Amino acid sequence: MTNAPAPAAASPPSDFIRDVVTADLAAGRHQTIVTRFPPEPNGYLHIGHAKSICLNFGIAREFGGRCNLRFDDTNPTKEETEYVESILTDVRWLIGGWADPHLGLKPKGQPPIAQTLNGRPDFYLGAAPLPPDSAPAEGEAPSLEPFHASDYFPQLYAYAVQLIERGLAYVCDLSADDTDRYRGAPDRPGQESPFRKRPIAENLDLFERMKRGEFPDGTRTLRAKIDMASPNVWMRDPVLYRIRHAEHHHTGNAWCIYPMYDFAHCLSDYLEGITHSICTLEFEVHRPLYDWILEHLDLPRPLPHQYEFARLNLGYTIMSKRKLMQLVREGDVAGWDDPRLPTLSGLRRRGVRPEALRHFAYNIGITKYNALTDVAVLEKAVRDDLNAIALRRLAVLRPLKVVLTNYPADQTEELDAVNNPEDSAAGTRRVPFSRELFIEREDFAEQPPPKFFRLRPGGEVRLKYAYIIRCDEVVYDDSGQILELRCTADLGSKTGGPTATRKVKGTLHWVSAAHAVPAEVRLYDRLFTVPEPDAAGDFKAHLNPHSLETLTARLEPSLKDACPKLRYQFERLGYFTRDADTNAAGAGAASPLVFNRTIGLKDTWAKEAAKPA
RNA sequence: UGUCCGAUGGUGUAAUGGUAGCACAGAGGUCUUUGGAGCCUUUAGUCUAGGUUCGAAUCCUAGUCGGACAGCCA
């Protein structure tokens, strides 16, 4: 039926929206499916948008269709080019290698095409043809660009005129306050505007003069003439156009009247030939208006239909653009790409890969139930993804010196270490070993709790890839702090040695003190201390003061050349990635070595240790 | 006291009138030169009350609880 793309690794998702798509295709209502992802460029994309992107592009991919990237930019006072650029970057990043052939873009500068269908006038702007099977070249085809609702201002204006001509819209002189008052309340009908019966010719003239800029902001609006007594407040003569003498990031000063969301969105969908317009639950109440506008205009092609699903709520974080913006502006985080934020740029900088986000989106499903998703689901998806591809390395976060008293002071060995036990093709590397080492401070306990099987006085542990050592002596400094551990190595216990197979309970990571490379490591924790920070009251009161911990770690030497594009697992510690932005800002050889911890390893010991004795 | 939408283990999600399944989380075990990963086992669910039906998570009615909606935001 469709020229199906490569099948998904797992079975394709099933949900009520995909059911509708399947049924529409089976019934022959559409030849191909066209969805759209319509962000307003007034902020950065977050993981909630990722859910929507994966849904819309996923459907395009599964059904051999297309998903248009469209900026819903009808409010010049809130939108900026910075956001347009970040959104494009984030979308390409998320769908890259997965659905990019289904990304609907249009020829640069191409306006909607005026055509005649069965003698009826029409406007249409389809996406450029799907690219050939080969993956698109690095960077964007320069001849293509995303869609913009603001590109349709001329057509939208024409449709508004049509509504006026049909007696279905009027220019209203009520102030914003009065408009509110006349609207009534959900449980109380509104009353009609005194301007509702304005003659068509006068409406036409006034609307034209609104467009020409003859009236100041807020003095007049264009309203649909529907039903002020409707139980649905959105049908009580909703505003279609408002006056805003403001420069628009995309259309400059060409317009001083701007269409409202409800008027622009359904018609933008129609113009682009969208078949399924998928949005979040809060627009459910708007659907009658979406349909009303389309049904009362002369539109010869099949009409798009709106479907709503529940937005993503994730535990211990916030998704509101307004609140994210507040954190950025008030300096609670370092920027939109702060790795603690659920923004796509933040997650990317933290080291999360798009593959993980796509699996996450697949796992949480699509419903109309307003759910709170456990962060553990995200964390699981991130770990699974990283576990498969991360290069294993040895690094010590909080160093404790160990001296091997029976190991020659002038000797250095290069030991073989496995890069990824999950992937033999990742090969091995050499790690230097010598008399003086660092181990993790918390891997030694003078008074070990029950079931602690790391190093203790007189105890033995395996040093990964190296020897079994025994702790002979604890050396203290003047203040009574542990200065170093003096240990003896079982020199026959190295891989291949006579005592190599001796069983010791614990295996520790380590680095050679003389060879270790210092680096800044940033450990991130959840941004908030409660599952629903914005449930009530001031969400900032729940900010986690320990969401970022910065320390200087000691790394095995190979990490000196770590690539920001790769992912690493510091053994027994977690997944880390070199901070790309810091790296980019650094000057050549002086470029600082900074690592972000994407996420820790699952820690069953922490759970065990937390159990009441 | 308005309209619309929703409700399945702790969490999230399947089952489209025919054996309530999966994932996450939890518990136990196994393996382990990562207390990671893997493998095995396991706890736990259809909001309530009626009705239709041979048979209801599913259809109907009423109720309960939850959410969205009163921007010249999207």
- Measured from Cα to the C1' atom, the residue closest to B7 is A369
Q: Tens of pLDDT along A61-74?
A: 999 999 999 999 99
**Residue A585 pLDDT exceeds 60:** no
User: Which of the 8 DSSP states describes residue A611?
Assistant: S
Average pLDDT over residues A71-97: 97
Selected catalytic residue, list A78, A92, A244, A311 = A311
Q: Residue A600 is encoded by which pair of tokens?
A: 């820790």
Residue A243 and residue A124 in contact, taking contact as beta carbons nearer than 8 Å = no
> Which nucleotide comes closest to A258 if you measure CA to C1'?
B72
d(CA A392, C1' B23) / Å: 27
Average pLDDT over residues A275-280: 98
Selected catalytic residue, list A198, A211, A321, A462 = A321
**Residue A7 pLDDT exceeds 60:** no
Residue A594 and residue A550 in contact, taking contact as beta carbons nearer than 8 Å = no
d(CA A245, C1' B38) / Å: 63
Residue that is written with structure tokens 């450990």 in the block? A523
Average pLDDT over residues A312-333: 97
Average pLDDT over residues A553-561: 97
> Which nucleotide comes closest to A463 if you measure CA to C1'?
B33
Q: Which chain B positions have some atom within 7 A of a protein CB?
A: 1-8, 10-16, 23-27, 33-38, 66-74
Which pLDDT score is estimated for A4? 28
d(CA A465, C1' B31) / Å: 19
Which pLDDT score is estimated for A11? 73
> Which nucleotide comes closest to A187 if you measure CA to C1'?
B2
Q: Tens of pLDDT along A172-215?
A: 999 999 999 999 999 899 999 999 999 999 999 999 999 999 99
Percent of chain A with pLDDT over 70: 95
**Residue A25 pLDDT exceeds 90:** yes
Residue A147 and residue A109 in contact, taking contact as beta carbons nearer than 8 Å = no
- Whats the size of chain A, residue-wise? 613
d(CA A532, C1' B48) / Å: 29
A458 — phi, psi (to 5°)?
A: 80, -5
d(CA A367, C1' B6) / Å: 10
Selected catalytic residue, list A40, A208, A379, A413 = A40
The Cα A317–Cα A527 span in angstroms is 6
State whether residue A309 is helix, strand or coil.
Answer: strand
Average pLDDT over residues A89-105: 97
> Which nucleotide comes closest to A181 if you measure CA to C1'?
B70
Average pLDDT over residues A121-149: 78
**Residue A581 pLDDT exceeds 90:** no
Q: Is the dihedral of CA A575, A353, A382, A82 positive or negative?
A: positive
- Measured from Cα to the C1' atom, the residue closest to B22 is A363
Q: Is A51 a catalytic residue?
A: no
Q: Is A554 a catalytic residue?
A: no
Q: Is A311 a catalytic residue?
A: yes
Which pLDDT score is estimated for A137? 52
> Which nucleotide comes closest to A363 if you measure CA to C1'?
B23
